[in-house]
């Protein structure tokens, strides 16, 4: 057996060991990217819900929010402030609480000098 053949035989186990380490790391990385994308989309929904809620509250209309969201409406003079908190999809330690806030002038105060 030549020295190059002996070297090739000992390297065979390294490829399997490297694959055993790299493949789970790539899967974890891909799952983290997907989770981040889902959390970002949920944050965008919270921001949209806060804006729509502020407009609806300013017009004294009913509002819609994401499932499981907590909506807080407050009034500060001629402005209506809406805060939306919603849980982001996630497992265990990866779960987040997303928050968004929006302010709109109250419908009855539009066009009135303040």
| Beta strands 70-76 and 97-105, pairing class | unpaired
Q: Phi/psi of residue 66, each to 5°?
A: -60, 160
pLDDT for res 79: 84
- pTM of the predicted structure, to 2 decimals: 0.52
Q: DSSP state, 2?
A: -
pLDDT in tens, 15-35: 788 888 899 999 999 999 998
Q: Do 75 and 81 form a contact (C-beta atoms < 8 A)?
A: yes
Across the chain, where does the E strand assignment appear?
Answer: 70-76, 79-87, 97-105
What are the residue ranges spanned by the domains of the chain? 28-57
pLDDT in tens, 93-112: 767 888 888 888 877 655 54
Q: Which residue has the higher pLDDT, 114 or 20?
A: 20
Work out the average pLDDT over 42-67: 74
């Amino acid at each position: 057996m030549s020295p190059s053949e002996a070297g090739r035989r000992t390297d065979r186990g390294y490829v399997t060991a490297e694959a055993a380490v790299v493949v789970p790391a790539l899967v974890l990385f891909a799952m983290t990217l997907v989770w981040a994308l889902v959390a970002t989309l949920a944050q965008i929904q919270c921001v949209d819900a806060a804006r729509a809620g502020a407009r609806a509250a300013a017009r004294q209309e009913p509002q819609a929010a994401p499932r499981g969201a907590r909506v807080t409406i407050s009034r500060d003079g001629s402005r209506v402030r809406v805060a939306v908190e919603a849980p982001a999809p996630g497992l265990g330690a990866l779960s987040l609480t997303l928050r968004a806030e929006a302010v709109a002038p109250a419908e009855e105060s539009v066009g009135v000098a303040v």
